[in-house]
Amino acid sequence: MPELPEVETTRAGLAPHCVGRRVSDVIVHNGRLRWPVPEHLADVLTGRLVQRIERRGKYLLLYCLDEVSAHVGVLMVHLGMSGSLRLVDPGSVRKTHDHLVFSLSDAADDLDAEPRWELRYHDPRRFGCCLWLELPAEQHPLLASLGPEPLTDAFTDTHLFRLSRGKSMPIKSFLMDSQVVVGVGNIYANEALFEVGIHPLREAGRISEKRYVALSVAVRAILANAIAQGGTTLRDFVNGQGEPGYFQQQLSVYGRAGEPCLRCQKPLTEVRLSARSTVFCTRCQR
């Protein structure tokens, strides 16, 4: 599943090519995603100018302006389990699972002009979404309950410790709760817990404040490094230009079950936690 670094990599890759351009056409080849694509999406989006692209958690938010009415709406995209947004030449052959195609023209062009790019939403498992939101977008039910962004000042050193008090759930489950902090998915939770030597099954409420401070630092550093490397390629993920990420080459535990721990050489252990692969070192993580 694309996680925060993959989504942020996509946002950063798309923005220079999409912002300031006009959506000249919208074609919905298959609207049966996790939440159905709104039937009026083409009508409401065509002709609008892309003002900016933001990210909230794992959601991409494309703010689009109707220059006639000065109305701004938001195209909210989630990549689901296997989705991607890719910029391609208009003449490129459409892939089987390219479910939505957004044509982008220069702002000065009329709607009949040849598009500069096509932005294609590709999702083999159809577990993502493309929804239209009115402002303020942050009040939408899918966004309203999200916790702080881990790479902002809202994610303080004491934030995790304060919310963990009285919690008996495993620390890995706590760390992956999007109401606690957004974007720390399975891959990066495994990596952060190994970095600070915390056992993923340890109760969240039984971990000291000092260790939570170290964990918050590790979360920030690992996510920032993954973004710098373009995300992690595990089966499906590619960025906005169709390129893979390279952080997988730096993974310490995820995907390495049975291999030697990079610190003590003991074989890494794998268990299933909430149906997710959880890999750790029984000697280094307590």
Residue 263 counted as an annotated binding residue: no
Instruction: Report d(CA 121, CA 101) in Å as an integer.
Output: 6
Residue 199 counted as an annotated binding residue: no
Query: 112 with 105: CB under 8 angstroms?
Result: no
Angle at 39 between CA 38 and CA 44, to 5 degrees: 80
Query: 228 with 239: CB under 8 angstroms?
Result: no
Instruction: Report d(CA 75, CA 62) in Å as an integer.
Output: 5
Query: Which residue do the tokens 């995209």 mark?
Result: 77
Choosing from 2, 5, 115, 170, the catalytic residue is 2
Q: Which tokens is 29 given? A: 């080849």
Choosing from 11, 48, 56, 58, the catalytic residue is 58
Choosing from 34, 94, 220, 276, the catalytic residue is 276
Could you confirm whether 58 is annotated as catalytic? yes
- The secondary structure of 162-205 as a DSSP string is HHHTT--SBHHHHHT-TTTSSS--HHHHHHHHHHHT--TTSBGG
Could you confirm whether 162 is annotated as catalytic? no
Q: Report which of 210, 171, 156, 219 is spatially closest to residue 192, judged by C-alpha positions.
A: 219
Query: Which residue do the tokens 């000291």 mark?
Result: 208
Coil vs helix vs strand at 73: strand
Residue 126 counted as an annotated binding residue: no
Residues annotated in the binding site for DNA, as ranges?
97, 125, 167
The residues annotated as belonging to the active site are 2-3, 58, 276
